[in-house]
Amino acid sequence: MHTNNRRNGILYVLFALFFLTSSLEAQVLKKVKKVYLFNGLLVLLKEDHTLPLVTLQVWIRVGSVYEKKDDSGVTHFIEHMLFKGTKKYGSGEIARIIESHGGRINAGTGKDFTVIYVNVPKEALDIAIEIVANVLQNTTFPEEEIERERLVILEEIKRHDDDPESLLWDMFNEKIYSTTPYRYRVIGTTETIAKMTRETLIHYYGTYYIPNNMTLVVVGDIKTKQLLPKIKTFFETLPRKELSPLPLLTEIPKENFVHREKRPVQQAYFLSGFLGPTVESNDQYALDVLSVILGEGRNSRLYKNLREEKELVWGIGTSFLTQKGTGLFIISAQAEKDKIDQAADETYAELTKLQKNGITDKELTRAKTLIESSWLFSNETYSGQAHTLGYAATIKDIKYAREYLRNISAVKKEDIKYVVDTYFQGKKLNLIVFYPEK
């Protein structure tokens, strides 16, 4: 009797959770207007009058995976140049105008994308649209600004290389990806940035900053019917061009590696993991859930075992990195140098135990709840919603964003076993360890 009530209680929670999830997800991303301009630009508009604010983001399908080894870092370099001068605006003028209207403008580069984002009061949206359209069509790459930003990026690389966790991440990617350009650093190298030419920057800009390779997202206090003609006025002047074919982004797993070395660090670090599926595979949802079960929060398996019970690590965490190409399941930890190897062994042991015995209903419910609450928190703001829509449209489609929580809710215990068997396979983890020199 008690067992049946408990089982019914779990089923009720999962049943209620599914409908709550579907309702909240639909509410966050409801009424998104999707339009393709004649030049191929995808426009996503979401009207919300809760606050007198607007977020405008442009997502370009170009990141470090579109680069060659000799041009590593070119996409990130272009991002640095976007607000350094156009045919209409001088260096520093773009940020000054946006900020004078109470807004913020910035950009970022990843492996699969580049994004420009602007947050402004609704009264400043017209000027934001005009400025962003100008940046996308008429960035001039002044020589003096290139040299100034070259020094900035070289200093950024120096700081990056002095950070053990950043260096660990770079080394891990270089070793686990042997054929696909996911092995390249977004930031580039000292050698490639030092020799980067204006011609190379202009070539990549002209090749990838084209309307049929972009998504424009506007979320906030807008009137869709009035805004769309303005968008067409400024953005339909971008000429459509033929896109270069995508590089090979699917990595075939090879023999697992273990690498250990001494570094000028105060504590020991390890990064381990295995390759996963691409964004096209539904296996990604089970891997997201597995990541939470293993290493997110105080109730996760690795935290309880390695941090609380055995006191082997100071911190440990896991994540699954979804990418357009082959994804990556990673586990990272920090510990005293004489405990780091045991911590790595215990991590492997915890995964093999999970592979053998599976997970509990309680773990599955907890993981789904954490993922869902995190997703909802990240989409509370206009900026967060625009990011969700733009990212989804860039690496797959907006259906991917709309159905993410539904797919998480659908994950079963058998799905967790399947992805562990398929991608982990019980093999020793790929592993890099940094030890303190002293």
How confident is residue 5, by pLDDT bands cut at 50, 70 and 90?
Answer: very low
Q: What is the mean pLDDT of residues 263-289?
A: 96
How confident is residue 245, by pLDDT bands cut at 50, 70 and 90?
Answer: confident
Q: Tell whether the model's pLDDT for residue 30 goes beyond 70.
A: yes
Structural domain boundaries, residue 298: 258-436
DSSP string, 369-426: HHHHHHHHHHTSSHHHHHHHHHHHHHHS-HHHHHTHHHHHHT--HHHHHHHIIIIITT
Q: What confidence tens digit (pLDDT) does each residue in 318-375 have?
A: 999 999 999 999 999 999 999 999 999 999 999 999 999 999 999 999 999 999 999 9
In three-state form (DSSP H/G/I as H, E/B as E, the rest C), the secondary structure along 254-302 is CCCCEEEEEECCCCEEEEEEEECCCCCCCHHHHHHHHHHHHHCCCCCHH
Torsion angle of C-alpha atoms 297, 300, 302, 307, degrees rounded to 10: 50
**Mean pLDDT, all residues of the chain:** 92
- Quick count: other Cβ atoms within 10 Å of Cβ 139? 21
Do 129 and 179 belong together in one domain? Answer: yes
Cα separation, 94 vs 359, in Å, equals 53
Domain count, the chain: 2
251 class by beta-carbon count within 10 Å (0-12 exposed, 13-18 middle, 19+ buried):
buried
| Closest to 369 measured CA to CA, from 8, 10, 17, 9 | 17
Domain closes at, from 220, 235, 250 = 235
415 versus 31: the higher-pLDDT residue is 415
Do 323 and 226 belong together in one domain? Answer: no
Q: For the domain that residue 94 is a member of, what is the CATH number?
A: 3.30.830.10
Cα separation, 105 vs 109, in Å, equals 14
Do 149 and 269 belong together in one domain? Answer: no
Residues near 104 by beta carbon (within 8 Å), at least 6 away in sequence: 98, 118, 119, 120
Residue 1 lies in a domain: no
Residue 16 lies in a domain: no
Element (H, E) at 143: helix 143-162
User: Crossing angle of helices 340-357/283-295, nearest 10°?
Assistant: 130
Cα separation, 270 vs 433, in Å, equals 4
Do 112 and 173 belong together in one domain? Answer: yes
Do 212 and 266 belong together in one domain? Answer: no
Do 217 and 278 belong together in one domain? Answer: no
Cα separation, 382 vs 362, in Å, equals 33
Residue 353 lies in a domain: yes
Q: Tell whether the model's pLDDT for residue 244 goes beyond 90.
A: no
Do 155 and 218 belong together in one domain? Answer: yes
Cα separation, 397 vs 155, in Å, equals 36
Residue 331 lies in a domain: yes
Residue 15 lies in a domain: no
Helix (H, G, I), strand (E, B) or coil at 15: helix
Residue 2 lies in a domain: no
Residue 14 lies in a domain: no
Do 262 and 229 belong together in one domain? Answer: no
Residue 426 lies in a domain: yes
Do 208 and 265 belong together in one domain? Answer: no
How many residues belong to the chain? Answer: 438
286 class by beta-carbon count within 10 Å (0-12 exposed, 13-18 middle, 19+ buried):
buried
Do 299 and 230 belong together in one domain? Answer: no
Do 428 and 286 belong together in one domain? Answer: yes
Do 303 and 390 belong together in one domain? Answer: yes
How confident is residue 24, by pLDDT bands cut at 50, 70 and 90?
Answer: low
Give residue for tokens 């982004």.
Answer: 249
